[in-house]
């Protein structure tokens, strides 16, 4: 069976991140032919154009990790009605140096969880704008705005609520179809 390699980014650096738990749940529930692997953003320095002539090792490894996958998935919290700075920084690294945009034509999807009632809706809108500009081929539907509750997950991403599992399974099934469709017309090596 051919497996599609998906790199996911967790937008939170928190050691108790609910979005990391969500990412673990997605790994558990993913269709058999979606291979989800984290692409870490934690060790990236703050981006500056001064690095363009000679990227540091962390940034080279980051761009190599994106080049090695066929699709990307953003699992992010909302910070002050937008995306966390660490995630924006990672996106900026990926799109530089000029002419070497790692996200060009890549199949992408966005999901997120917050403790607040709007479930990262504004962060996701903000991220979608960025992903449009960087020419990622993002899945537009279904959207997935999740509000965390303590009964939702076990410690290692086991999904304890049937309703949450159904939402995540549907999201992943649609994402799989999206990846297949985009790669059909825009293959990646």
**Site residues for ligand FMN per CB under 6 A:** 12, 14, 17-19, 77-81, 114-116, 118
Rounded least distance, CB 153 to ligand FMN, Å: 12
Nearer to ligand FMN, 12 or 138 (CB): 12
CA separation, residue 1 to residues 32, 41, 94, 172 (Å): 9, 30, 30, 18
Residue nearest to ligand FMN (CB): 116
CA separation, residue 77 to residues 7, 101, 105, 164, 173 (Å): 17, 24, 24, 17, 22
Nearer to ligand FMN, 49 or 116 (CB): 116
Nearer to ligand FMN, 115 or 132 (CB): 115
| Residue 20 · residue 27 · CB < 8 Å | no
Rounded least distance, CB 37 to ligand FMN, Å: 19
Nearer to ligand FMN, 122 or 180 (CB): 122
Residue appearing with tokens 């060790």: 43
Nearer to ligand FMN, 17 or 125 (CB): 17
Nearer to ligand FMN, 7 or 77 (CB): 77
Rounded least distance, CB 149 to ligand FMN, Å: 12
Rounded least distance, CB 14 to ligand FMN, Å: 4
Rounded least distance, CB 79 to ligand FMN, Å: 4
Rounded least distance, CB 12 to ligand FMN, Å: 3
């Amino acid at each position: 069976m051919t497996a599609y390699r998906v790199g996911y980014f967790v937008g939170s650096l928190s050691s108790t991140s609910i979005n990391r738990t969500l990412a673990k749940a997605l790994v558990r529930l993913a269709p058999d032919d979606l291979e989800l692997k984290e692409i870490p953003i934690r060790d990236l320095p703050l981006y500056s154009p001064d690095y363009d002539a000679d990227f540091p090792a962390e940034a080279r490894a980051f761009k190599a990790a994106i080049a090695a996958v066929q699709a990307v998935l953003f699992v992010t919290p909302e910070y002050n009605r937008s995306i966390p700075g660490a995630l924006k920084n990672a996106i900026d690294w990926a799109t530089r140096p000029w002419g070497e945009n790692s996200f060009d034509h890549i199949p992408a999807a966005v999901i997120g969880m917050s403790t607040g009632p709007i479930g990262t809706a504004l962060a996701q809108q903000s991220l979608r704008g960025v992903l449009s500009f960087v020419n990622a081929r993002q899945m537009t539907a279904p959207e997935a705005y999740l509000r965390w509750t303590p009964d939702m997950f076990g410690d290692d991403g086991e999904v304890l609520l049937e309703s949450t599992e159904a939402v995540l399974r549907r999201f992943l099934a649609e994402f799989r179809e999206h990846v297949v469709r985009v790669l059909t017309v825009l293959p990646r090596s």
